[in-house]
Amino acid sequence: MQDNQVSFTQMKDGTKDEYLLLQKLEKPYLAMTADRILDELRRQGEVSLEGYKVNRLQHGLQSATRAERDGADIDWIVGALLHDIGDGLAPQNHDRFSAEVIRPFVRWDVAWVVEHHGIFQMLYYAHHYNWDENARDQFKDHPCFQSCAAFCDRWDQSSFDPDYDMQPLEHFEPMLRKVFARNAYDPDVIREGFVSSLTS
């Protein structure tokens, strides 16, 4: 084994020492997660879906600004900022992709809402495609149903306005860094089963 490289070519052949080395080398990479997310957000400001009056970065900034102005806490604000972060790589299931980006670092209800916002948003447009606009009703007994409905109505579907006075990305960067500096899957953060209020 070289100083900074394992000798195995198949995972099953790795030794404990090699896996401990990999764990050590991974720490700086994990610490840069917020940087990579910020880079992706900036990219969304340059390359975006056609036809809308705003790009995906502006949409996320508007959503997060609305959440903050409503008195939402840091988890909801970062969730609103990143709810469409998956659009670039997973446009067909961006909601689930986006949820997986934030899931280790935010409350479970925030991740659930981000994961399901796509089907809840169908209320506003599905009828134009002859789809079921009430598809979200399959979750009507879920404890996060009302949170997701409110998230979509107050912060998401209303955030396509080029004239909205949104905060810049730099405003949200400290919040994003704080959230992604948390220990992944910390039960005191995740709070499985707890449903928080969207606003204070």
CATH number of the structural domain spanning residue 137: 1.10.3210.10
Phi and psi at residue 158, in whole multiples of 5°?
-95, 5
Phi and psi at residue 2, in whole multiples of 5°?
-70, 165
Confidence band of 19 (pLDDT split at 50, 70, 90):
confident
Q: Quick check: is 135 in a domain?
A: yes
Of 104, 102, 113, 96, the residue nearest 152 (C-alpha) = 113
Question: How many structural domains comprise the chain?
Answer: 1
Each residue's pLDDT tens digit, 109-147: 999 999 999 999 999 999 999 999 999 999 999 999 999
Q: Quick check: is 133 in a domain?
A: yes
Structural domain boundaries, residue 47: 13-190
d(CA 90, CA 116): 15
Residue 1, pLDDT score: 54
Q: Quick check: is 142 in a domain?
A: yes
d(CA 90, CA 101): 12
User: SS3 sequence, the chain?
Assistant: CECCECCCCCHHHCCHHHHHHHHHHHHHHHHCHHHHHHHHHHHHCCCCCCCCCCCHHHHHHHHHHHHHHCCCCHHHHHHHHHCCHHHCCCCCCHHHHHHHHHCCCCCHHHHHHHHHHHHHHHHHCHHHHCCCCCHHHHHCCCCCHHHHHHHHHHHHCCCCCCCCCCCCHHHHHHHHHHHHCCCCCCHHHHCCCCCCCCCC
Q: Quick check: is 117 in a domain?
A: yes
Q: Quick check: is 195 in a domain?
A: no
Residue 77, pLDDT score: 98
Say if CB 156 and CB 50 are below 8 A apart.
no
Q: Quick check: is 172 in a domain?
A: yes
Confidence band of 2 (pLDDT split at 50, 70, 90):
low
Give the mean model confidence (pLDDT) for residues 70-96: 95
Give the mean model confidence (pLDDT) for residues 154-182: 97
d(CA 142, CA 71): 24
Each residue's pLDDT tens digit, 33-82: 999 999 999 999 987 778 999 999 999 999 999 999 999 999 999 999 99
Q: Quick check: is 199 in a domain?
A: no
d(CA 84, CA 48): 11
Q: Quick check: is 7 in a domain?
A: no
